[in-house]
Amino acid sequence: MDDIFKGIDLELKKRKIKEKAKEAMNSFGAWYYDHEEAIRTYAPIIVPAVGLVIRQGIKSHNNRVEIRAKELYHWDPRRGTYYMSRRPLKSSELLELDRLYSLGYTKGEALKQMKLLK
């Protein structure tokens, strides 16, 4: 019995969404018709500018993600795997990691010994 009511409720939600979408399209059409001259004048300037801002924002975000990943992940060529640290390492911790690595420890063992392995 509950399944029937869920189906009816779902149909009502779908109908409301369709009505709102149709209403939005109609109001946009009326707005476009009222402001057609201004849109044709400013759209060739505004649309590329907005695209440029969005593209730069995406590039900046991807760059920050890449830098963060380089700070957190450490490649161990002996094992052929990445190890993730809890936080970006300080320069003294990086030197200690390199020292332990040169002594024969894997980067995972060195990070675990330094209590920085995640």
pLDDT, tens digit, 9 for 90 and up, residues 48-93: 999 999 999 999 999 999 999 999 999 999 999 999 999 999 999 9
Q: Is residue 61 part of a domain?
A: no
- pLDDT, position 3: 64
Q: Is residue 58 part of a domain?
A: no
Q: Is residue 88 part of a domain?
A: yes
Written as one letter, the residue type at 42 is Y
Task: Give 44's pLDDT tier (boundaries 50, 70, 90).
Answer: very high
Q: Is residue 9 part of a domain?
A: yes
Domain count, the chain: 2
- pLDDT, position 4: 66
Q: Is residue 96 part of a domain?
A: yes
Q: Is residue 79 part of a domain?
A: yes
What's the helix, strand, coil split of the chain in %, to 5? Answer: 75, 10, 15
Per the structure block, which two tokens stand in for 5?
A: 């009511």
Averaged pLDDT score across all residues of the chain: 92
- pLDDT, position 9: 82
Rounded to whole angstroms, the Cα distance separating 20 from 6 reads 21
Domain ranges, residue 91? 73-113
